[in-house]
């Protein structure tokens, strides 16, 4: 009777001993480089949401909010996380600009772990969740879609949309109070992506007309898909019918897919081709131009790419602007400098044009400084495709060769890089002027870098800078005063206003603001 138990415990003991020696081999392979030793992997899905549990789970250390503190403490701009389960493996967090440039410039040696992005293949294969030849095909189609004509359209549509907000939603109010700034920035970004992304004339006021063959308006479906994606990617399909909220989300995703397919069919089958510059039409045109079929995307892939660009452009812009307005409300002196700069460019109170964008340098500097302090994506994951090495200087100036075993997970720590005092003086300070001076371009990566850098960067900048310019031109931004926070210090207020969580992108917790019309 005891024999089965003896065999079982013997097998468990052998397995534990094997794990121990494999763990020791991993440490030896990396020269016992300093870092964290844990039971569970840094890439464990639970680590995205759990606080760090010393010796058990890295938690958000892998998706670091610790700025540069971990690197300062360990003495190098690289540290390791070595885990035991599910099998001993090693992850590297890197905040050195030279090493990151080397990695992003050699895509074949440091590929993207696309399995981490499989949840984003909701509507089909896309440029984010692909690698190798599939990625090249998506990139070849997407490149011409982000054209100068599209950028101009983004700027002009954004200015019109903000004017629409002033004329309808805000009307004659001299003071607008918002409990959370995303209640303003989300609708603005939604309308921009509706017009410049899809070529749909979605109005600022309620536009809930449901066309034949649909159960939800385009605007409502787009809003739900943009704001509730976390539910879609985290709840199994079979469970999406359990509550009314989940059923509504499920319907919104089904509806937006139908709308996108209708737009594909309409524009593909039209007898007379109308020249359009919206992103959706540009992607469709670029895909159709591949005569040999080598670059042509399927309808599923077109929907997949448009969804990814919509998600990235909508949420990223809305959240960054919320942080940006929060920063300006905290730092009134910087807001005044920005306002005076805008008035020198738009002295007669005229509308900002696309040609003004390159002149609005302080607007760009404020936008960039916000992105430096609170990057939308705080970690860019890579994998080492081969045994290799990287060289890192210590804080004392000594150079050390770090061995990177094949299959190691690499985390390009964007927050660590953006707060690295080696590249940024007083990195915790909000100082937009630094972007009007010489700075290390390789140490500023809110859009990543290399071949896989963000294609929609200019789209994002046009939209964000146009909104920032229009609102600061007309309104002064302040923190909403609340009795419960009457005695907080400036540092406590800043921490509260800039509090964030890790969603699809970095998400503000609550940014309560007052917009006061200027005289």
DSSP state of 197: I
Whether 185 contacts 317, CB under 8 Å: yes
**Torsion angle defined by CA atoms of residues 461, 467, 469 and 470, in that order, rounded to the nearest 10 degrees:** 150
Query: Scanning the structure block, which residue is given the tokens 């709308």?
Result: 259
Whether 463 contacts 158, CB under 8 Å: yes
Whether 168 contacts 205, CB under 8 Å: yes
Q: What distance in Å separates the CA atoms of residue 332 and residue 476, rounded to the nearest whole number?
A: 9
Name the residue among 377, 378, 404, 445 with its Cα closest to residue 109. 404
Q: What distance in Å separates the CA atoms of residue 322 and residue 165, rounded to the nearest whole number?
A: 16
Q: Which two tokens stand for residue 403?
A: 């061995």
3 state SS for 154-185: HHHHHHHHHHHHHHHHCCCCCEEEECCCHHHH
Beta bridge partners of 413: 379
The count of other CB atoms within 10 Å of the CB of residue 95 is 29
User: Angle between the 457-474 and 332-345 helix axes, to the nearest 10 degrees?
Assistant: 100
DSSP state of 196: I
CA distances from 425 to 97, 99, 272, 421, 431 (A): 15, 20, 57, 6, 10
3-state secondary structure of 517: strand
How many Cα atoms sit within 13 Å of 129 on the Cβ side? 19
Compute CA 509 distance to the chain's CA centroid, rounded to the nearest angstrom: 16
How many residues are listed for the chain in this entry? 519
Q: What distance in Å separates the CA atoms of residue 81 and residue 93, rounded to the nearest whole number?
A: 8
Q: Which two tokens stand for residue 441?
A: 């371009």
DSSP state of 486: T
User: Angle between the 299-330 and 182-192 helix axes, to the nearest 10 degrees?
Assistant: 140
Name the residue among 262, 261, 253 with its Cα closest to residue 302. 261
Q: What distance in Å separates the CA atoms of residue 156 and residue 162, rounded to the nearest whole number?
A: 10
**Torsion angle defined by CA atoms of residues 376, 38, 236 and 245, in that order, rounded to the nearest 10 degrees:** -50
Annotated ligand binding at 454? The verdict is: yes
Binding-site residue set for heme: 454
Q: Tell me the binding residues.
A: 454
């Amino acid at each position: 009777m005891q024999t089965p138990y003896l065999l079982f415990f013997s097998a468990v003991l052998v397995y534990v001993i094997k794990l121990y020696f494999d763990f020791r081999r991993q440490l030896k392979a990396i020269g016992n480089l300093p870092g964290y030793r844990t039971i569970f992997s840094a890439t464990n899905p639970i680590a995205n949401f759990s606080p760090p549990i010393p010796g058990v789970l890295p938690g958000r250390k892998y998706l670091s909010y610790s700025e540069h503190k971990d690197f300062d403490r360990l003495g190098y701009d690289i540290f390791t996380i070595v885990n035991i389960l599910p099998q001993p493996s090693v992850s590297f967090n890197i905040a050195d600009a030279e090493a990151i440039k080397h990695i992003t410039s050699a895509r074949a040696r440091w590929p993207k772990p696309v399995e981490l992005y499989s949840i984003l293949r909701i509507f089909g294969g896309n440029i984010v969740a692909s690698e190798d030849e599939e990625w090249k095909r998506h990139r070849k189609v997407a490149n011409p879609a982000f054209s100068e004509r599209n950028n101009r359209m983004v700027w002009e549509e954004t200015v019109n949309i903000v004017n629409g907000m002033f004329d309808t939603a805000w009307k004659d109010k001299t003071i607008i109070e918002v409990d959370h700034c995303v209640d303003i920035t989300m609708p603005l970004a939604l309308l921009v992506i509706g017009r410049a992304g899809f070529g749909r004339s979605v109005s600022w006021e309620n536009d809930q007309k449901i066309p034949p063959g649909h159960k939800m308006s385009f605007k409502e479906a787009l809003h739900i898909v943009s704001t509730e994606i976390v539910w879609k990617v985290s709840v199994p399909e079979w469970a999406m019918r359990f509550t009314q909220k989940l059923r509504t989300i499920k319907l919104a995703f089904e509806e937006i897919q139908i709308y996108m397919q209708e737009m594909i069919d309409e524009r593909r089958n039209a007898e007379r081709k109308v020249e359009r510059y919206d992103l959706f039409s540009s992607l469709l045109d670029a895909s159709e131009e591949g005569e040999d079929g080598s670059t042509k995307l399927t309808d599923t892939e077109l929907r997949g790419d448009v969804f990814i660009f919509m998600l990235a452009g909508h949420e990223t812009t809305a959240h960054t602007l919320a942080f940006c307005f929060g920063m300006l409300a905290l730092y009134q002196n910087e807001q005044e400098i920005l306002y005076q700069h805008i008035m020198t460019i738009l002295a007669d109170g005229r509308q900002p044009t696309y040609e003004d964008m390159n002149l609005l340098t302080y607007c760009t500097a404020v936008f960039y400084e916000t992105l430096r302090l609170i990057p939308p994506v705080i970690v860019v994951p890579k994998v080492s495709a081969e045994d290799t090495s990287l060289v890192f200087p210590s804080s004392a100036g000594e150079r050390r060769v770090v061995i990177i075993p094949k299959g190691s997970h690499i985390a390009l720590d964007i927050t660590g890089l953006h707060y690295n005092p080696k590249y940024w003086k007083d990195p915790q300070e909000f100082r937009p002027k630094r972007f009007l001076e010489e700075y290390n371009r390789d140490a500023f990566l809110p859009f990543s870098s290399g071949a896989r850098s963000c294609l929609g960067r200019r789209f994002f900048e046009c939209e964000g800078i146009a909104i920032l310019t229009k609102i600061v031109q007309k309104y002064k931004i302040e923190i909403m005063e609340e009795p419960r926070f009457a005695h907080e210090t400036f540092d406590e207020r800043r921490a509260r206003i800039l509090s964030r969580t890790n969603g699809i992108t970095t998400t503000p917790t609550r940014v309560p603001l007052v917009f006061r019309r200027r005289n």
